[in-house]
Structure 1
């Protein structure tokens, strides 16, 4: 049997064998197909029936005719893409599934759904909940940081979540304490300083920055910095 090339189009190995057989012998009678394919009658009949439903072949006067490969492949590809698009749309909104499963959870508090504040105890529980919330975020994340300065551990924990959201185009905004802004990790050099450090004009420096943002496919400078660090550029 030839290699199973049509699997990506949703066609089984037996169905592909039948189609290839009919391409070599168009207009064959179904009884001849049974002899040539050497498949079990029930298996072959099921394959022919499905190929007919998919408009891969047609029967006329007791004979079976295949549609041309360009028509068949394009039609099957379009149908397969529609199925994948439907699956993607379903996967992009998993909240109904989560809600349904949550109703079955014995750990669910009767008033948890309507509670104005969700109380979490312990850092592991907080980080686990943040991971869940980041997964379902679609447009924007608003967060309030209680720290005076972020520790390396905080950054290591937050970076994967931030990158995951930024890659999907989710805007991340953090409200921090005034004392945190003075931390060395939060300071950002002005364009004038940056231009002076690389020895170029301010306008040229800004043009370089804009080009880097475009190359990285970033939404803004902060996003570009994260992507550049991920690629090992900085």
Structure 2
């Protein structure tokens, strides 16, 4: 895998573009600038890697648009050492951004092929995370509670398990809606009985796969 000056130049251009769209967190922009997104895509489609758009990665899944990755990450307000649960490892690109920001990451993927591929790639790049193959709608009780939780697929509602596994003061970022369009929600757990929900507008994600996601 080669990360050339040309690739780095394209990333600089990409970062300027998403900053112009409103991303302000410098640590998030720097992570996007540093991570070779083309490593997370088939080499045959490398020319698409630094366009600000999603792209298919097989198994009916996509690598998210860089702006969307940056937007969700900014909402999450990641601090070094935060214990974060990611639902939907996918290509591993969002995980790389979180790890670059210093997160202690647990990432769940329901498609075994993607789970194994992302684990192999991220490990080869020197990133250390806890990779879990399973149903993300149930969260990860064994490692709860979490400082932050991020969901990278669209669900019709917020799975109760994720709210239960969030620390008081913690943040959950999740797209909620139908199978075509969702609203990006940021949910802050004020106390065990109080949630603060903020709506950050429309997005489009692949369908959340999970037993508890569509009940």
TM-score bracket for this pair, using the shorter chain length: under 0.3
- Greater strand fraction, Structure 1 or Structure 2: 2
Q: Tell me the TM-score normalised to structure 1 length.
A: 0.19
Could you say which structure has the larger radius of gyration? 1
- Greater helix fraction, Structure 1 or Structure 2: 1
Structure having greater relative contact order (Cα 8 Å, sep ≥ 6): 2
